[in-house]
A = this chain, B = another copy of it.
Amino acid sequence: MPSEFDLIYRHFAHLGAGPAVELSVGDDCAILKLEPGERLITSLDTLVEGVHFLPDTFPEIIGYRAVATAASDLAAMGARPLGMTIALTLPDAEEFWVHSFSQGLAEAVSEYSLPLVGGDTTRGPLTVSVQVMGAVPVDQALLRSGAQVGDEVYVSGTLGDAAGGLAFLQDEWRPSRDAAAYLVERHERPTARLALGQQLLAVATAAIDISDGLLADAGHIAAASGVAIELESAALPVSPALAEAGERAITWALNGGDDYELCFTLPTGVPAPEGCVRIGTVVAGEGVQIDADIDTGAGYQHF
């Protein structure tokens, strides 16, 4: 007999169709189609209330954000999206909550072409686990490990916005009204750069999405590739809204997580895609260095 929570899941059943979906929710498993010569790309991300999002976050935001953050891992590999499953743990089955959450999901399903092909719903503290599945041509996935000495380092978009938005939401900073609205939107509704990732497939030597902050994530590329990365503080792209924070803007650009922009490396001479800017160089050595004496937080080298 279906439980209250099975019934909830049916609210999401209309989100299950997509070009790669041969069978969606309703049998023991879903069936997804990869094209000849493609590999399956998959990642799992869990968001927990109070850890990965603020308590009382609007459920539509939670639904959208859970998918966007997981989709960002597909973007970082250059994958084209196939579909996803969601394990949802809820304290209760309040109809408003479920409806609003499903609206956020629906937006993300559509924006990222990630049909919801399976899931499970259980009772407990609010937790959303999203498993995304995508595909790349064999041997073409964007890894963290391919950066070469001499490559240039790039990022998409602007950095630190999500951290600035969070600081405003937590009453730690008062930007102008317009800046606050922009930064909160960047925090709550990050954009997974799926199209950019696929565009980079043919040209980038390494890539990662910025979830832990630029220094940490550039550090992951450096470690996996066995190289060092030198960043140029003057080159870091900061939005006009974040620039209202003065010096803190650069700190957030370096350490703020949750931007979900892509950081990637290109061989010298390869033009960067539109909307991306060069922020540094790959050199011999290890770790990440930056040319400014600024507060980069604990645990990172700077000079």
> Taking beta carbons and an 8 Å cutoff, which residues of A are in contact with B?
1, 22-23, 26-34, 36-46, 48, 51, 73-74, 76-77, 79, 82, 85-87, 89, 117-125, 127, 129, 131-134, 136, 138, 141, 143-145, 208-209, 216, 224, 298-299
Given contacts A87-B46, A127-B127, contact A32 B39 (CB under 8 A): yes
Question: Is there an interface contact between B87 and A87, defined as CB atoms closer than 8 Å?
Answer: yes
Give 16 pairs: A residue, B residue, CB < 8 Å, sorted on A: A1-B216, A23-B141, A26-B224, A27-B145, A28-B73, A29-B74, A29-B79, A30-B43, A31-B141, A33-B40, A34-B34, A34-B39, A43-B85, A44-B118, A120-B129, A125-B125
B143–A27 touching, CB < 8 Å: yes
Smallest CB gap from A85: residue in B: B44
Report yes or no: A124 in contact with B123, Cβ–Cβ below 8 A. no
Given the contacts A28-B209, A85-B42, A51 and B118 also touching, CB distance less than 8 Å: no
Main secondary structure of the interface of A (DSSP, over half): strand
For A76, the closest partner residue in chain B by CB is B28
Whole-angstrom distance between the alpha carbons of A41 and B32 in the complex?
A: 7
Tell me the nearest residue of chain B to A297, going by C-beta. B1
Which among A82, A124, A143 has the greatest number of chain B C-beta atoms within 10 A?
A124
Cα A77 to Cα B45 in complex, Å, equals: 26
Who on chain B is nearest to A126 by CB?
B124
Query: B28–A144 contact, CB under 8 A?
Result: yes
- What residues of B have a CB within 8 angstroms of the CB of A209 in the complex? 28
Question: Do A29 and B82 have beta carbons less than 8 Å apart?
Answer: no
A33-B39, A40-B40 known; A120-B28 Cβ under 8 A: no
Output the least CB separation between A129 and chain B (Å).
4
Nearest B residue (CB) for A86: B44
For residue A40, which residue of chain B has the nearest CB?
Answer: B32
For the complex formed, measure the closest distance between the CB of A246 and the CB atoms of chain B, giving whole angstroms.
26
Among B23, B118, B119, B124, the residue within 8 A (CB) of A48 is B124
Q: How far is the CA of A79 from the CA of B87 in the complex (A)?
A: 22
Q: Do A85 and B131 touch across chains, with their CB atoms under 8 A apart?
A: yes
State A38–B37 Cα separation when bound (angstroms): 11
Closest residue of chain B to A117, judged by CB?
B42
User: Contacting A118 at CB < 8 Å: which of B23, B43, B138, B143?
Assistant: B43
